[in-house]
Every structure is written in structure tokens, then in C-alpha cells.
Structure 1
Amino acid sequence: MIKEIDRMLDFKLSFSIPVDDFVSSIFGGGESIPTYLYLKDEEAWIDIYLKNAFEEKDIPLIESLTPVYLDGLTAVSERLIASGFLDIYKEFISLPSVVPGGFFLKEKRAYLSFRFHKSDKESVFSILRNSIAKLKGIKIDYLGPSNGITWELSSINSRIPLMVVQYSFGNSRGFKAAQGESSPIIECRLAPKKYNKYGHIMYGERNIINDSDYSICAKPKIFATNSISPQTESLIDLLERDRIALGVLFENYKKGKINVTVALPQLLLNPFITRLQTVFSESENQSPSVSLIAPYSEDLFVDL
């Protein structure tokens, strides 16, 4: 499944900006720290995930940051202080094909990457050009052809260990996009819903045509669409509510089943599994059939 679409979003942008963050500078030790970027009250915030291995002297500090405890780790929130960052982020994710990639903190800088189709290249460059004047200290690391989804995940995995989860479930709610002869693949665009006006990325022939779908590329066929299964939509909403980060999430429809492949930080596996089960236990009397939970490797992922 992944091999078929690996480089269909054929361009990539990565850049970093200076940030005045307190938590990672205290607990990061120069290492990359997994984070979750979210928007609250028109401000950019980050959740920083810390393993529950604090020294006793650090506990009062952690408690002062209103922590959330998640199955073996602690998440603390901090406002991202970087002038102009929110505006540029919203502009990028408002483009039809732009998919947010890695986001992490290291040594007082926030590193971001986006994959996108070449049809949005001029718009991306225009936003970037205008942002150089707004974002003090921005450093462009790369703008050019993409090495693909698996390369990006392998790069993330070298900094922050990832796990792969694959599961399937029956199309009991009659999800229309899962019906028909073709088997489109949907890459869920994991961006704040408020600014994600184009929805997700669909690769391949559409079984159902929605007026809101947007054609990104005619050959190969790539669309922006809001057509994802209700179960996956509920899961994404729950993960966004609880601020649990994913790397990627794909849906594929075959023979009456909806197949899902997820890559996520290893330390967030248990919170993810808990919320996956919550979605199905609350919605209907069925459980997802889990076929794989394994450490990420490029060879494994590309053949899924």
C-alpha cells in the first residue's frame, strides 16, 4: 500500500526557528524531544512528552506545569514563543496538498517539515519568502524534491523511535467511500481541524465524488477530500482532544474492510491503543482486528 504512494507528494520543505521554550531546555539534555503542536486561543502551544523518570528535586517543577499523566509518561504544556510562527503555520496547512511532517524541539529551536505536491510549489515559496521578513532567525534546511514518506519516517525514527500499528475493521456504518471497485488510499492530514479546510489526501480513483473534493493532480490521481471513515474521524478527534501525536495515518478500503496503518512515537503506543479501543467500544459492538504492532523499519513499512 505505502509503496504505491510513497513519492506522490513529490516536494518537501523543512526549516527551523528559534524558540524560547523552558521545559525542553531543562529536561532535553540536547536530545530531540517528541512534542505535539496545537493551537489554543489563537496561540501556538506544545505538549512536551517526558518519561516518568524524574529526580525528586524536579517533581515540584513538573507539578507547577499542570502535567497530564499518560501511561508511563508525563505531558506538560508550554506556549510556543516565536513571533510570527502561527501565521506561517496556518498559511502552509491551508494549502490543498501540504501535509505536516516532523515537528520536534532541540537546543532552543523548533524543527518543522512539510510534504506537498509540486502544484503548490509556487504558493509554498511565496509564503516562505514573505515569512523570512516576519520570522526572525528562520533557517531553511531544505526545499526541493521529496525523498518520500518512508524516508521521512526513517529520519524521524533515527531521532525518536517509532512503532507501527496496523488494524482493520468492517464497514458496518456503510461508509460510501469504501464501496466500489477501486481501492483509494487516504493519508490523514494530521493538522488542526480549524485550519485544515481541504481535509485529507486521497490517492487513486474515487468511488464517491463529493462536491467538496479538490483535484490536486490528474495523473497520478490525487485529491483533497473530507471522506474518511467515521471511526477514523472519531479517533483523530480524540487524539487531538487529548493531544497525542501521530507520525502518519493511512486508510485503505478493500473487500468490505477498512485497513488502517499508523506510525507513532514508541512512548505514545499505550495511550494510542487505549483511545483506539475507546472509539470502538463507544460506537458499536466490534473491535478492530490488529494484525501488527512492531518497531518501525523502512523495509517493514514500505511493504504494508
Structure 2
Amino acid sequence: MKFINIAEEQLSNGIEKAFKNHEDFFKEYFSTLEDKKQFHENIEVILRDTNIDLTKINIGLLTKRLSSLMRLLKRSVKKIVIPDVIFFVGLNNFDGHGLILNGKPYIFLNMTRMNEMLENKSFIIDLHLLHETFHAIHYYHSPSFYLRNYKSTEHHYLKRMLAEGVATYLSKDFKKASFDSALWLGLIDREHFTEWVKNCTVMKRSMWELIKNAIASNNFDVSLINTLFAVPGARQEDLVKGRFGYYYGTEIVRKVAEKEGLRILFLEYEEFRNYVEPYFKE
């Protein structure tokens, strides 16, 4: 496992030099996740507002935790490729994810978001790091799920749902964590988690109808995508209204894992796809 610290380079030498030195990363990042124009328009302000000393401390903490987790993971799960790690300073849109660069798996961690999240004493750091790690491992071993391979409207709904389910289920299983911890990383309280699960289950069939209709009409419905995958606000009462896709994806993956075990990391999308509609029709 290798650690690549673009963040300190950005904060010390400026964004243009970082772009030049890490062209492959930024090219892939802009191709799969972030709008390049928006990034360029806003990153200088974010860099000015970022505390370099705090960022260094937090990168040290994250490096230590990741090193420990990856040693355990390598011993526990055979025949997987352990990803390298990139730290950088980005916009507020993504705290981290998995990428494939030049055929190799990487995790990136956005220190803009990580600095903020690490201030929350309820935040379960190890589960977050494992979640992003399993994204990278999953994309490497099941390329059909990788972001570049979203070729249709269906993929934006179902591939994403299943990929989040794989990362959530495996991080939960590896750490023997509770369902609420794996899904919300300590950021939701018990009362509101119970309400959120109720909302997910009550709305399951109607959400599936919306997803099917969006796929049939080739409609990338931003409102529906946000309900499935976004956090609609910072208050506890806001959390219960979004991220339903994480719940559905994890439940589907749990059912597949009962039959396939760790082979879920290697199953391609078409195999997984067969489990989706039966789950929603239960």
C-alpha cells in the first residue's frame, strides 16, 4: 500500500503544480466524478480556507488507521488487490471513493470533507475508510461496476445502488459492526435511524416503480437520484429523507452474500442484476 499526499502539495505549492504532477489522478477524477469547470472556479478559495497544520495531523491519523486496517484485511481476505491511497483537497461534493488509475485500484480521500467529518466525535472513521477501500477493491475485481462503465440510465440507478451495497455490507461484515453504524458511520442517532429504516421499507415498492419508470423513459431524475443517494441536510430529521438506495443496496447484497459469500466482490453486474427486482417485489 502506497500513500500519495497531493493535499500538502496543493496547500504548499498551489493547484496548477499539483495538476501537472498528478495529471492521471485529476483526469480520472474529472472524467468520473467532479465537474472540472466548477472545481477550477472554487478550489482556490477552499485552499485558502484550509488549515494546513490540521490537514497534516489528520492525514497522519488516516494513514495510521488505514495501514492497520489494510494489514488486517490482507490477512483476512485472500486473492484481493489492496488499493493505494490518495489524499487531496477538493470541493465539498465527495468525501472519498474508489478509482482505477492505469489499471490499478486507488482510494481517494478529500481532506476538505475529512477535516470536517473528523471533528464529529460520533464519526466512525474505520468504517468509512473500509467502505471506500471496498469500493476500490470491488471496482478492480468487478470492472462492470466501475464509474466509467455506467453506459445507460439503468446503470446510474442500479449499479450505484449495488456498489454502495457491496461497500456497506463488506465493511459491516469485516468490522462486525451494527447495521446503523455501517450505513451511517455514527452520524445518525438510534431514534432517527429507526425512522429512516421505516421510511425505506414503507416506500420500497413505490421507489421501485419510480426507478423502473425512470429507466424505461431514459430519464436521469435528479430528485430521485438525490432521494436514493444524497444526504438532504445536516439535521437528524433531514437524514431520514434520503440515502434510501444505500439501504436497498445493502439488503440486496446481504441476500446475495448468503449464497455467494465473498464472491460478491467478483460478481459482475449482470449476475447481480437478477436479484434486484425480486427484492423490491417482496
Higher strand proportion = 1
Higher relative contact order (CA 8 A, sep 6+): 1
- Given the two structures, how large is their TM-score scaled by the length of structure 1? 0.28
- Given the two structures, how large is their TM-score scaled by the length of structure 2? 0.29
